[in-house]
Structure 1
C-alpha cells in the first residue's frame, strides 16, 4: 500500500511515484546517496495510476531522445529532503553501482518529469516543439530587457583601483592583482558589489561585433566565426580595462583601438578575491549586465 515517506527513512532502491503535469504519474528510484544528496533515476513508467512495486518498468532507466538527447539515461544528483508530494511505493535493491556526474540542485517536484517530456516528444512533438520555441523567445526577450546595470562604483574610485594592478614582467597573476585586491577588500561589501557592477558594465559595453573584429590574430570573422573564441574575446576585453581609463575610453569610441593579442582573465576574479578576504565567504552576486561574449545583443546586430 502506498504511503508518504519522510526524508529520514530514504534508502537506496526506494521507489517513489511523482505527479506529472498532465495528471498522470511517473516513478523515480533512488540509486545512490552521499551525505544529503541522492542519485535519482527516472523510470520509463507513466500511467493514470500509481504503479505497484511489481511493475517491471520500475527496475528500468528511462532513455531520453528529445531534442539534443541521444539515448541518454535519465539520471541526476539532487540535494535535500524528498518533496512531501511524492508517494512511497516500495524498494527494489540495485544490483550494481551507477555512475553519474550530473547535478540539478534541490530535490523538488520537477524531478521525474523527464518521462512526461519524452512522452510529449513521441506523441505530441509538433506542439511540444512550438511551446519550447515560444518559451525560449520569451526568455530571450526578458533577457534583453534585463541588461541594465545596478548601482555602480563611481568611475573615479573604480579606475583608481584598476590603476593599482601591478604589472611587471616578473610578477605572476596573483602579484599583479594583490594591490588592487588589498585596497578593495578594505572597503565595504556594498563597495565590492558596486565595483563588480562597474566592471561588468564596462565589459558589456566592449562586447560588440566591431570590437571582436579587432583583437588581432583571433578576430571575429563572419565567414569563419566557428574559429572565434567567446572566452578569449572576454579576456581581451579584460585587458582593455586593465590598461586603464584612457585605453578603455579610446576603445569604446573606436573599436580599432581594441587590444591586440593580449588578454587578462584574472581581472574577473578581483572582486571575488576581495569579497572573500573581507568576509571569509564565497562571492555570490549577479550583476545587472552579463559580461559573457554575445550578451550585448544590440552590439552584435
Structure 2
C-alpha cells in the first residue's frame, strides 16, 4: 500500500483496515477446519471489529522505511493477533470479567471460558507463525522482528503490565508507578507496532530509531490516558465495552490520580511530544503524526 499525498488520512486508514480484514482472514484457519469451534471462535475474536490502531502504526512506520506490502501485512496481522488474544484473556472472569467487547459479547460469553482460554493461546501462536512466514526479509532481521514481538507480548511487556494492573486493584499508585504499568501493558505493543513497521524496510540510523522510540513512548502513554478519560466520561454504547468499569473495580487510573482536566491536558501534551519526535522525518512521517492525533482526539 503506497503512501501518496493525494490520499486523505481517512481514505488511507479505511484502505489499511480493509486490507487487514482480508489478510487476517486469510492467515486464520477456516471456521470449518477441525477443531471447528475453536477456529470459529478465533475468527469471532479477531475479525469484524476494532480500530486496528496497531496495524495502522505498522503501515505508517513502514511508509518511513519503505517496507514491502507483504511484510507489513504479516507484521500488522501478527501484532493484531497478539492484541486480540490479550483482549480475550483480559475479559475473562479470572481477569477483568467483562461481557462486552467491540460492541458484541466477549468470547467467553459467546462461547465458554475454556474456549476463550484456547482462543487466546491459539491467536498468540498464530501471530508468530504469520510473522515468521514473511518472505524476502533477511533472516537476521526476521529473527529480530520476532524478538521485538515476543518481548512486547511477554512478562517484560504486555503481560507484565497486566500482572501489575491486577495486583494494583484497590491500591494507591504514584503517577510514576501508573506510567510504568501502562508503558508495559499498553505501550509495549504500540511501540512494537512502530518498530516492526520500521524494520520491514530499509535500515534506519540510531537517531531515526530513537525518534521512533520517543514517538512510541508518547503515543503509548497518550493512548492509556485517553482510555482512562473515556472510561470516566463515555457510555458503553459509544465505547463498545462496559463504561465506568475501572472506577467500579477500584482500579488506579490517570483520572483518579490526576483528575479529569489534568488528564486531558496530559494527553494533549503527549500528542505534541509525538509530533516533535518526528521532525527529522519530514513529510514521510505524516501518517504517524495523524495517528497520534487520532489516538488523542478519539471519542471511543
* Coarse TM-score class (shorter-chain normalised): under 0.3
Q: Which has a greater percent of helix?
A: 2
TM-score when normalising by structure 2: 0.25
TM-score when normalising by structure 1: 0.25
Structure number with higher relative contact order (C-alpha < 8 Å, ≥ 6 residues apart): 2
Name which one, 1 or 2, has greater alpha-carbon Rg.
1
